[in-house]
């Protein structure tokens, strides 16, 4: 009997301060048919009970454990528990999941 592996759903976790941008991105993904290539789901903090003021390190570990891609623009970039420092310390070739972070930065000028 042949079995077919169901593709893993790509879960994108939107940081609470960019939910509007995440929705616009999601609309583009679905309108352009990208979501037809692989199952995808956009998840907000409120959907899964995460606090808006969650620590960066705790957030990164949660996203890793849940195999989510983190979409963010406002995470702290300074200090031992900053997202940047956490990724530097914990994202190795032996990480448990293929998740990552996508940073959206505002253009200045």
pTM score, two decimals? 0.77
Q: What pLDDT is recorded for position 87? A: 79
The domains of the chain are located at: 45-100
Q: What pLDDT is recorded for position 26? A: 94
Using the predicted structure, report yes or no on whether residue 74 has a pLDDT greater than 70.
no
Q: How confident is the model at residue 21 (pLDDT cuts 50, 70, 90)?
A: very high
Pick the residue with more confidence: 100 or 11? 11
Q: How confident is the model at residue 76 (pLDDT cuts 50, 70, 90)?
A: low
Mean pLDDT of the chain: 81
Using the predicted structure, report yes or no on whether residue 34 has a pLDDT greater than 60.
yes
SS3 of the chain: the string is: CCCCCCCCCEEEEECHHHHHHHHHHHHHHHHCCHHHCCCEEEEEHHHHCCCCCCCHHHHHHHHHHCCEEEEECCCCCCCCCCHHHHHHHHCCCCCCCCCCEEECCCCCC
Q: What pLDDT is recorded for position 67? A: 86
Mean pLDDT of 15-34: 92
Pick the residue with more confidence: 25 or 93? 25
């Amino acid at each position: 009997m042949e079995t077919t592996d169901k593709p893993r759903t790509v879960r994108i976790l939107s940081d609470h301060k960019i939910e509007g941008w995440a929705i616009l991105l999601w609309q583009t993904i679905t309108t352009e048919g990208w979501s037809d290539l692989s199952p995808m789901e956009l998840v907000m903090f409120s959907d899964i009970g995460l606090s808006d003021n969650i620590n960066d390190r705790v957030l990164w570990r949660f996203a890793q454990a849940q195999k989510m891609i983190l979409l963010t623009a406002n995470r702290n970039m300074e200090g031992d528990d900053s997202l940047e420092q956490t990724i530097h310390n914990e994202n190795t070739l032996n990480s448990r999941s293929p998740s990552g972070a996508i940073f959206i930065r505002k253009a200045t000028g």
